[in-house]
Structure 1
């Protein structure tokens, strides 16, 4: 059996590193988006409560 060439091994490791980075970025963006949506919803609810109190 012939061992894999250096070029092939570097290609495989590079591809795996890119996929890992994309996965980490996707998870990070999903968490940031979730926090943003929650923060906007809470701010909207606080504004509505304050307007109800003011009435």
Structure 2
């Protein structure tokens, strides 16, 4: 189980690193825009991402 968790974390790091590697200026602009978004909206967006990820994991499993 720990190996699967480490693989998942490694994959997240690879995916998260793609945008700053390929388009650093656009990534920086996106981060600046995100700093203006209120906390409630970010929390809702994060919750939706968690839900979508959980459903996707069920389909894959």
Which bracket does the TM-score occupy, shorter chain normalised?
0.3 to 0.5
- TM-score under structure 2 normalisation? 0.42
- Normalization by structure 1: what TM-score? 0.46
Larger of the two Rg values belongs to structure: 1
